Structures are given as structure tokens and as C-alpha cells.
Chains A and B, each alone.
With several copies, the nearest count.
Chain A
């Protein structure tokens, strides 16, 4: 019995439709029950059936999920998977293979020999079919769970509980078959290779297992989102799947629109009606929403738009990963619009950042775009989810009414009601007053004054105007109202300080932060002095933070997963920084090792230049 060290990485591979992802997610649940942190990262083909499919389970005692290539234990059913993954297996890794399928021991040994990987420890097991899925394919999830669970010495009762939980809504015979299969898998002899995970003392019940999509959706519920409309698109669909189940029970609305234009249009309508609203999509949908995004900026209604990024352009690579929609999020609409762009940097942060997004949107009265991505969105993590009462909630300022019951506190989240009838003195209400950054919003059926809104340029009352002066003033106000965001929402910028004198600064955003974090540690232990800046507020650019970093060093590295260096270029545009860009376009998040090497190369280059 080997005692494993954390983080420990286990990868289960197979073909789409065989249940490997299900197996991985059940394993995560079982681990969570034992007090572990961790995440389950899925890889799947873009077709519905067939094709390579895998799930990587990272078992950890810390919160963050780190994209890794150092596999400690690999489970395979096909020899092709070994060829594909062996390069990512660390020395001495364990390979559990199904000798009942396409993998024979001889072949395997021959292959490992060819690949010069005699360090790999082999465990042969024999799966049987466990049940039929609707398409009458083999479905192995519970059996695999049994095998892997036994390997990690997880109690069978825990695994069985997990299986019951997972299949609770299936018919009884399916449920029973899965329970049988988990114990069958558990009983398969694995020789003397059993291992054991270190004991954990985390209180398991403050945590939930959610992927980033679910975390976004969960947060929307917590913050009082009363209306969600969307159109399905990979990899954002999970948000809709979650909210379609959860919102109606809370008296809120989830609506499948006929397309993305209708989806954002309905969300804008709901926002006008006083209800917090959200829509979610991926790149192609973001492109379609550009006209309405500009409208929301112009009429200054709160609105949250989630873009779960995937590689583009056009349909691109729907099943892969990239951070390529930043430019479209910032600049996509015609004209000059005031909007906020945020990016979560961990699965857990998908929750908190969505809360922030709603708050910013309500506070500044403008659309907020959340740039998530396919890995954050589809990777399950064991994350802390605060109770509603612990969530900081900002509600839009509205014009109050005739002392009707406060409208829909929990869903619309109307607070800070101003009864402005007294102030008006018979004058018209200035919805777009130039004297304040944002004026309160009249809400139909609730407020004591009405308002009319238009995408035409308008004066303080909201009436269309041809006056260039008024246009300039309103445009300025719409832009400048965002100036305070960095101060108002300090949690939108994350720092990893060092000393005031540093050798270089590293900037990363989105999921790339995970790799950056581990690289920073490594570089520091190499003796480099580094400060790291992890902006979640991508636009408007967090100038205070950037300036501070600039004051510490001239050498700033920006790492991101796109071809243009989009965030680096935003910094050039808005902050006069000339960063070094590290770009990655592998279809997966950048790996620590790669990032480490690139950083070292750049830093050495800089120092050499300075020597000269």
C-alpha cells in the first residue's frame, strides 16, 4: 500500500459514449466526501458519438485547479490512448488497463519498450459490460469507478452512495445494475498495487461540486437573477441546463429563446421591467449579440452576458479551449459603447465573479460581459459556495413608487428606492441627468414616474436629440461613470506581491492564472523576485494596478491563450505598457512547464540585454 502525495492526478480515458466522464465525476464526488479538494477536467470530441474522450481528476488539498500534464495514474481501454497520453505520465506512473478490450499485455509491453518507458507500473484488470446506454453502447462508468476507487482505497460504501446519488432518477433496474457494477469493479484483483490518499480535515459540507458553468448559474441564483434567457451553444449550454432546473422553483424565469438576438433582447426587456437578468452564450452568439449590447450600453440598463469562450474564428473548434473573444467583448459593437468585461480565473471564482458582475452591472447600469472559457465551464471542481446572506449584493437604484410592497425583493433585487416625486416639482424626470454618474431607474408597475428609452442619442430626459454638445456630454458621462470601478470593486484585481523591487512582473487572466501561480512559486524558489497581477477586470483596464506594477519594474510579461496577445495589446493601448507576450494556442490551457520555460527565456533575454 503506497501513500500518495498531493496533488495527485488520475486520468481515465475511453471513447465518447462509454461513460468515462461520468466515472470521473463520480470519483470526484466520492473524493469530496472524504474532504479532498479537486477537479475533473473533461476532454471530448465535437461529434456526439465516438472519438477520444477523457477525464482528468486532480486530487488536491488546496482550492485551485491547475491544468496539468503530470499524470500519476492513467486508466485506458485502448492502446491508442497509451500512445497519446504516455508523454504526459510522470516517471513511475501507474497504468491501469482493461485487458478484456483492445489492450493486450504483450502489445502494451512492446509499446512501452519502444517508447522507452519501462518505468511505468502496469495493472491489468478485466471489465465486463455494465449496462446499455440508450444508443445501445457499452456503459462502463460504475465499473470503472469501482476499479479506480479500489486502487485509491476509497471505502466501497462511499462509492455506492455516490452511484446511488448519480443514478437516483433513473429507473430501478438501471440503478441496481450500476450498484452491482461498482462493487464488481471494486472486487477485481489489482495485484499488490493498492494505494492510499492522505487523510483530509476539510469540512466537506461547505463545498459543492460544480463546474464553472454551474458555478456561474448558481451565483446568478444567489444574487437574485430573476430572468435568464439563452440559446444553446457549446460550451455554454450547461448554464442554461442548470438554470432551467433551478429558476422556476424560485418563481423566476428561464427561457429558451429562438436565437441569441432574441435571448439578449428578452434579457434587456426583463431588465427594463426591473428584474436582474442574464444571458449566456459562446463566441458565435456573442457576435450576434453585438447590436443589442450596444443598445444596452446606450439605454444604460443592467445586464449580464456570459461568453464561454471557445477557439474561433467562426465555428472554429467548439470542443477546445482558447481565450480569444476579449477584443470582441470590448470592441465588438459599432460606435463607442461603455461596457465592463470580467474574466473568472478559477472554477470557484466563477461563482464570486458572477456576483461581482451583477453588482457592477446594477451599480453602473451597463452590460457586463463575463469571459469564461470551455475549460472553466466544463471542469467540475469542489468549490466553496457561500450562503446567500454572506454574499455582497448591490441592487440598482430605482425610482420608488406609491408605497406598494417593494417589488420582488428576492428576484428583482430592487433596493435604494428613491421617491423622487417631491424633488421633481412637476418637472420631468431626468433619467440621464448629467449631474450624476447614474440616475435611478423608473420601473413599470412600481415607480411614480415613467420613462422612455431609446438607442438614439438623447438628452437628460431621454428624448432624442440632434445636439452634438449633448451627445458629447452624454457619451462622456457614459464612459466616465466606469472610472470608479477599480476602486469600488477591489476584488476584481488579484495580486501576488513580493517585494517592492522586483525582477519582473507577470500578468495572467482567466484560467491561465492557475499555471501562472505555480510558475511564480517555482521562479521564486529559483531566486527570481516576481510580482504577479491577475486582473479579473479586463476592461476598463485596471490602470491603478497596472501603474503600480509598472512602478516596480519595466519587465512585464503577459500570458494568455490566443494568437494576437489581446490583453497585452489592450495594455499597450490604454496603459502605455510594452509587455512581453507569452501566447499559447494548443487548444488546452497553457501548462506550467511550458509557461515556466517561456518565462525563463524572456527573463534571461532581458537580463542579457541589460548587461550589454
Chain B
């Protein structure tokens, strides 16, 4: 929902308890700035999250916020959306929250094309519980429950989201705030279930990504790959090749808009 009056700030009064330098600050700044610029009304906007470091973001906004329970942000957001078509509903949660315990809900909200925007703050770990492998952790990731290395390939969230029939699917990263901003704008404008995977590594438990913005090469698929993002099958195929972190090319992070129905 847009404000009638002056642009209003989305910064909340509560100070985040995130670690110094947590990449979530970057996302928060970009998102809040954008919502204000786009004239969203905090009094008609709801941030819905689950539980995790990432999910605390719903407590740090001046908008309405629901810090719910672990894995269940999407059903709650669905209820808000279905009962009130006049408020904006953003889901912001972690990779563990959305894709481990919450995977089933994701499938169905996407399938039903519920008109919400879902942001996954994907740090490829369960940060809040101190580093267990999440569904997006890399192969061989040593989480505390998998000390010998996680033996599962990471879930490719963009491919998965397309396959679940999300109507907008993109990936961006806190390493490139400009691209992130561009992507979020597109996602917000889209009507229907939109999903943005935001690679935002954890400074405390994924230190290998820092200070290595340069080591990782961020590739924008919309510039480098030939595919039709309006075409389901073309998009799916493109997304399925763009896994991160991939075993073959761990240093390449493919970002971009993969699908827009």
C-alpha cells in the first residue's frame, strides 16, 4: 500500500542484535530505503518472518511486523493476504526457516500464486542455533550436526521456486546492493507469488566469504545467459544451471531475474 502523504521511514526504533558487519544490515538498509522511496506506507505494510537471525528483521521495522514461529511465516502471510487485499505483505526469513522446516508451506503458497513477496536471507547456515547445515549449505559444509561435512548437494532455491510455480523468481546478494535494489523493486512490483533468494553470508559462521567480495565473481544471468525469462521451461533450465554454492565453480555466484510470468 502506498502512502497518501509524505514518504515515511521504515526504520524501527529497536536496535538490531545482529553481529557487527552482519550482511543483513545491508539488506535492511536497501529494503527500507526502497520502501520509503516507492512510497509504501508503513501503516499498511506487514513484515512477516519466522525465527532465526534473519527473521528478527520484522522487529526492526516501523511497519507492522509479525515475528512468528520457526518455518511458518508463509502460512501467516497467506492469511493476511487472503483476508486483506489492501495491505502489502512481505515475508523475510532465513534459508533454514523457509526451506527446511518451512519447505512444505513454500511449495503450496507458490503453487497457489499467493500474492506475497518472499525474501530468503540465505546465509547458507542456521546462524541463530550456531551453525548447522541448512538446505542451502554447500556440499561438505561442516555444520555442528554434520562435523564430517554435510553430504548433500544444496537446494537450488531459484530452480525450486520456479518448479513450485512461483510467478517471479530472482536471486541477488548483499555483495551488490545496487543489483539487490533493482531486484527488490521488480519483485515488489510483481503481482503474485514472488521470490527473491538473497545470498547474504554469515560473518560469524561463514567467514570464508569475507573479505572476499572480489574472490567471488558475481555473474548477472540476465546479461550473460541466453534465455527467455517469460518462458517457464527456458527459465527453469537456466535456473537449474545456476546453483550456488556449486561444487564445480564455488567462486561463481549467478544472480539475476530467472522467471517472471
Contact = CB atoms under 8 A, between A and B. Distances in A.
Interface stretch (A450-458, A468-476, A479-487, A574-582): A450-458
Contact of B68 (A240, A260, A448, A455): A455
Contacts of A255: 78-79, 82
Nearest to A240: B145
Interface in A435-467: 442, 444-445, 447-456, 463-464
B59 A454 contact: yes
A425 to B, nearest CB: 16
Given A237-B129, A444-B44, A450-B62, A270 B83 contact: yes
Contacts of A254: 145
Contacts of B70: 284
Interface string B50-88: 010100001101111111111110111111111110110
Nearest to B207: A134
Given A231-B101, A244-B144, A262-B108, A453 B84 contact: no
Interface string A67-83: 00000000000000000
Contacts of A447: 43
Size range of the chain B interface in the assembly: 35 or more
A223 interface: no
Given A135-B20, A244-B144, A265-B76, A452 B58 contact: yes
A314 interface: yes
Nearest to B128: A48
B132 A266 contact: no
Contact of B83 (A253, A257, A262): A253
B132 A292 contact: no
Contacts of B13: 428
A297 to B, nearest CB: 12
A261 B79 CA distance: 12
A92 interface: no
Contact of B79 (A245, A269, A401, A452): A269
A534 interface: no
A444 B71 CA distance: 23
A395 to B, nearest CB: 15
A259 B104 contact: yes
B252 interface: no
A275 B80 CA distance: 9
B19 interface: yes
Interface in A261-279: 261-263, 265-275, 277
A326 B136 CA distance: 36
Contacts of A272: 46, 64, 66, 76, 79-80
B239 interface: no
Contacts of A277: 79, 83
Interface string A583-596: 00000000000000
A229 B108 CA distance: 14
Instruction: Name the residue among A255, A269, A401, A442 with the largest chain B CB count within 10 angstroms.
Output: A269
Contacts of A295: 68-69
B201 interface: no
Interface string A43-72: 001111111000000000000000000000
Given A450-B62, A450-B64, A452-B67, A241 B46 contact: no
B79 A265 contact: yes
A233 interface: yes
A365 B19 CA distance: 35
Interface in A218-262: 226-227, 229-234, 237, 240-241, 244-245, 248, 253-262
A207 to B, nearest CB: 25
Contact of B80 (A232, A245, A256, A269): A269
Contacts of A253: 82-83
Contacts of A171: none
A226 B81 CA distance: 13
A291 interface: yes
A230 B132 CA distance: 11
B59 A444 contact: no
A153 to B, nearest CB: 35
A173 interface: no
A499 interface: no
B67 A454 contact: yes
B65 to A, nearest CB: 3
Contacts of B105: 258, 261-262, 265
B17 A51 contact: yes
Contacts of B77: 269
Interface string B200-224: 0001110100000000000000000
Given A258-B108, A452-B58, A266 B82 contact: yes
A277 B128 CA distance: 27
Contacts of B143: 256
A256 B133 contact: yes
A442 B64 contact: yes
A387 to B, nearest CB: 25
A48 B58 contact: no
B65 A452 contact: yes
Nearest to B135: A258
B145 A453 contact: no
A445 B1 contact: yes
A260 B76 CA distance: 12
Contact of B45 (A237, A270, A444): A444
Given A135-B203, A258-B101, A284-B70, A50 B17 contact: yes
Interface in B4-59: 12-14, 17-21, 42-48, 51, 53, 58-59
B145 A244 contact: yes
Contacts of B133: 256
A232 B129 CA distance: 6
B127 interface: yes
A234 B1 contact: no
B59 to A, nearest CB: 5
Given A237-B144, A256-B133, A452-B59, A261 B72 contact: yes
Given A445-B84, A463-B14, A48 B127 contact: yes
A315 interface: yes
Nearest to A238: B144
Contact of B100 (A258, A266, A268): A258
Contacts of B65: 450-453
Given A240-B144, A284-B70, A450-B64, A269 B76 contact: yes
A263 B86 CA distance: 21
Nearest to A245: B147
Contacts of B48: 269
B72 A232 contact: no
A232 B132 contact: yes
B88 to A, nearest CB: 9
7 contacts: A50-B20, A240-B132, A248-B148, A253-B83, A265-B105, A272-B76, A451-B65
Given A259-B100, A450-B64, 5 more contacts: A48-B19, A134-B205, A248-B148, A265-B78, A445-B84
A-B CB proximity, top 3 nearest: A269-B79, A265-B75, A266-B79
